Structure 1
Amino acid sequence: MPLDQHLRYFEDPSGSRTIAELRDDPFQGRWQSQSEEAFNQGYSQSAWWLTLRLENPMSQPVESLLELGYAVLDQVDVYVYSGPELVRHYAMGDLQPFSERPVIHRFFVIPLQWAPGETLDIYYRIKTSTSVQAPPTLWQRDLFEERENQANIAQGLYYGAMLVIAVYNLLIFLVLWDRSYLYYVAFVLSVPLFMASISGQAYHYLWPQAVVWNDHSIPFFLALAFATSALFTRRFLRVRQWSVWLYYGLGAVAVAGFGCLLLSFVAPYVTTIHLLVPLGLFACLFEMAVGIASWVKRVPTARYYVIAWLSFLAGGTMLALNKLNILPANFITEYGIQLGSVLEAVLLSFAMAQRITEERRLCFAAQDEALSATIRLKQELEDRVRQRTRELEQLNSKLQDLTNTDQLTGLRNRRFMDEVMLREWSRCRRYQHDFALAMIDVDFFKRFNDEFGYPAGDACLQQVAERLGGCVRWPSDQLARYGREEFCLVLPETDASGALVVAERIREAVAAQPIITEHGEFSVTVSVGVCVGRPAKQPVSAALKSADMALYQSKNSGRNRVTLFHLKDLDNVCTLSVKRPPRD
Structure 2
Amino acid sequence: MTLLRGLVLLSLCLASGQSAGDQPAPAGSQNAPCPLLSVNDPVQRDRLLYHTCYLSQPTDLGDWRQITPAQLPAQLKWQASNGEQLAFPRSQLEYWIRLNLKNDGPTPGFWYLALDYAPVDYVSFTLHRANGSSVIETGDQRPFDARGIDYRYYLVPISLNAGEAATLYLRLSSQGALNLPLSLLTPDELVAQSNTLTLTHGLFYGALIIFALFNLLLFISSGTRYYFFNAFYMASLGLFLFAMGGFAYQHLWPGSPWLANTAVPLSMALCALAINLFGRSFLQVRRQSPLTSRLMTAQTGIACGLLVLALALPYNHAIAIITVAALALICSLFFIGVIRWRQGHSHAKWYVLSWSLMVLGTLTYALAAFGYIPDFLQQEMIMQSAIGGQVLLLNYAIVQRWRDMQKRLWLAENRAKMRLEREVAERTTQLQDAMRDLEAANQRLEALSTRDSLTGLHNRRYLDGRLTELIREAHRHLRPLALVVLDADHFKRINDHYGHAVGDLCLRHIADELKHAVHRPQDVVARFGGEEFALLLPDTDLAGAQRVTNQFLQRLASCPAGQREGLHIPLTLSAGVALLQADETQAQLFERADSALYRAKAGGRNQLVVAGNTPAPVGTATNRNRE
TM-score relative to the length of structure 1 = 0.63
Preserved CA contact (<8 Å) 2:178 2:371? no
Per-residue CA deviation, residues 251-275 of structure 1 (Å, 9 max, x unaligned), is 3333222211122223221221121
1:375 to 390, 396, 421: 421
1:333 and 1:254 map into 2 onto residues whose CA distance is 29
* Aligned match of 1:89: 135
Change in CA separation of 1:13 and 1:358 when aligned onto 2, cut-off 3 Å: farther
* Aligned match of 2:51: 6
* Aligned match of 2:487: none
Q: CA deviation at 1:97?
A: 1.7
Q: CA deviation at 1:386?
A: 3.3
Instruction: Say whether residues 1:180 and 2:226 are aligned partners.
Output: yes
Instruction: Say whether residues 1:156 and 2:219 are aligned partners.
Output: no
Amino acid at match of 1:350: Y
1:63 to 101, 110, 121: 110
* Aligned match of 1:202: 248
Instruction: Say whether residues 1:78 and 2:131 are aligned partners.
Output: no
* Aligned match of 2:63: 16
* Aligned match of 1:511: none
Change in CA separation of 1:27 and 1:58 when aligned onto 2, cut-off 3 Å: same
* Aligned match of 2:381: 335
**What SS does the aligned partner of 2:133 have?**
strand
1:300 to 346, 358, 363: 346
* Aligned match of 1:142: 188
Preserved CA contact (<8 Å) 1:13 1:45? no
Instruction: Give unpaired runs (5+ residues) of structure 1.
Output: 397-584
2:235 and 2:243 map into 1 onto residues whose CA distance is 12
Root-mean-square deviation over aligned CA pairs: 2.5
* Aligned match of 1:361: 407
**What SS does the aligned partner of 1:223 have?**
helix
Preserved CA contact (<8 Å) 1:62 1:116? yes
Q: CA deviation at 1:61?
A: 0.7
1:203 and 1:137 map into 2 onto residues whose CA distance is 22
2:268 and 2:311 map into 1 onto residues whose CA distance is 13
Change in CA separation of 1:136 and 1:332 when aligned onto 2, cut-off 3 Å: closer
Per-residue CA deviation, residues 278-317 of structure 1 (Å, 9 max, x unaligned), is 1123123222222223332232112211222211221101
Instruction: Say whether residues 1:215 and 2:261 are aligned partners.
Output: yes
Amino acid at match of 2:93: S
Per-residue CA deviation, residues 360-381 of structure 1 (Å, 9 max, x unaligned), is 2222222232233333323333
**Matching of residues 268-347 of structure 1 within 5 Å:** 268-347=314-393
Amino acid at match of 1:183: F
2:92 to 42, 45, 49: 45
Instruction: Say whether residues 1:34 and 2:81 are aligned partners.
Output: yes
Instruction: Say whether residues 1:225 and 2:283 are aligned partners.
Output: no
Instruction: Say whether residues 1:107 and 2:153 are aligned partners.
Output: yes
Change in CA separation of 1:108 and 1:288 when aligned onto 2, cut-off 3 Å: same
Per-residue CA deviation, residues 50-76 of structure 1 (Å, 9 max, x unaligned), is 111111111111101111111111111
Preserved CA contact (<8 Å) 2:179 2:369? no
Q: CA deviation at 1:36?
A: 6.1
Instruction: Say whether residues 1:167 and 2:236 are aligned partners.
Output: no
2:101 and 2:75 map into 1 onto residues whose CA distance is 17
1:191 and 1:249 map into 2 onto residues whose CA distance is 23
Instruction: Say whether residues 1:255 and 2:295 are aligned partners.
Output: no
Per-residue CA deviation, residues 72-96 of structure 1 (Å, 9 max, x unaligned), is 111111111014x542100111222
1:299 and 1:233 map into 2 onto residues whose CA distance is 13
Preserved CA contact (<8 Å) 1:63 1:112? yes
Q: CA deviation at 1:389?
A: 4.1
Preserved CA contact (<8 Å) 1:75 1:128? yes
Change in CA separation of 1:67 and 1:375 when aligned onto 2, cut-off 3 Å: same
Q: CA deviation at 1:100?
A: 2.8
Preserved CA contact (<8 Å) 1:76 1:125? yes
Amino acid at match of 1:380: E
* Aligned match of 1:567: none
Change in CA separation of 1:395 and 1:133 when aligned onto 2, cut-off 3 Å: closer
**What SS does the aligned partner of 1:37 have?**
coil
Amino acid at match of 1:378: V
Change in CA separation of 1:301 and 1:28 when aligned onto 2, cut-off 3 Å: farther
Amino acid at match of 1:273: I
* Aligned match of 1:125: 171
1:269 and 1:155 map into 2 onto residues whose CA distance is 26
Q: CA deviation at 1:249?
A: 2.8
Change in CA separation of 1:86 and 1:255 when aligned onto 2, cut-off 3 Å: farther
Per-residue CA deviation, residues 90-111 of structure 1 (Å, 9 max, x unaligned), is 0111222222322110011111
Which has the higher Rg, Structure 1 or Structure 2? Answer: 1
1:328 and 1:391 map into 2 onto residues whose CA distance is 92
Comparing 170-179 with 329-338, greater Cα deviation is found at 329-338
Change in CA separation of 1:95 and 1:388 when aligned onto 2, cut-off 3 Å: farther
Preserved CA contact (<8 Å) 2:124 2:137? yes
Instruction: Say whether residues 1:352 and 2:398 are aligned partners.
Output: yes
2:52 and 2:288 map into 1 onto residues whose CA distance is 56
1:31 and 1:353 map into 2 onto residues whose CA distance is 58
Amino acid at match of 2:259: W
Comparing 47-56 with 21-30, greater Cα deviation is found at 21-30
Q: CA deviation at 1:18?
A: 6.1
2:163 and 2:212 map into 1 onto residues whose CA distance is 55
Per-residue CA deviation, residues 426-452 of structure 1 (Å, 9 max, x unaligned), is xxxxxxxxxxxxxxxxxxxxxxxxxxx
Per-residue CA deviation, residues 395-433 of structure 1 (Å, 9 max, x unaligned), is 99xxxxxxxxxxxxxxxxxxxxxxxxxxxxxxxxxxxxx
Q: CA deviation at 1:348?
A: 1.2
1:30 and 1:96 map into 2 onto residues whose CA distance is 30
Amino acid at match of 2:102: E
Q: CA deviation at 1:243?
A: 4.2
Q: Percent identity, please.
A: 26
Instruction: Give unpaired runs (5+ residues) of structure 2.
Output: 1-44, 443-627
2:101 to 54, 77, 90: 54
Q: CA deviation at 1:139?
A: 0.8
Amino acid at match of 2:401: R
Change in CA separation of 1:314 and 1:74 when aligned onto 2, cut-off 3 Å: same
Preserved CA contact (<8 Å) 1:281 1:320? no
Q: CA deviation at 1:383?
A: 2.9
Change in CA separation of 1:40 and 1:340 when aligned onto 2, cut-off 3 Å: same
2:361 and 2:423 map into 1 onto residues whose CA distance is 56
Change in CA separation of 1:115 and 1:27 when aligned onto 2, cut-off 3 Å: same
Q: CA deviation at 1:186?
A: 0.9
Amino acid at match of 2:79: Q
1:94 and 1:346 map into 2 onto residues whose CA distance is 33
2:132 and 2:332 map into 1 onto residues whose CA distance is 54
**What SS does the aligned partner of 1:138 have?**
strand
Number of positions where the alignment pairs a residue of Structure 1 with one of Structure 2: 396
* Aligned match of 1:540: none
Amino acid at match of 2:384: Q
* Aligned match of 2:501: none
Q: CA deviation at 1:177?
A: 1.5
Per-residue CA deviation, residues 315-352 of structure 1 (Å, 9 max, x unaligned), is 10112222443322333323311111111111111111
**Matching of residues 185-584 of structure 1 within 5 Å:** 185-240=231-286, 243-391=289-437
**What SS does the aligned partner of 2:89 have?**
strand
Q: CA deviation at 1:231?
A: 2.0
1:156 and 1:166 map into 2 onto residues whose CA distance is 15
2:396 and 2:240 map into 1 onto residues whose CA distance is 24
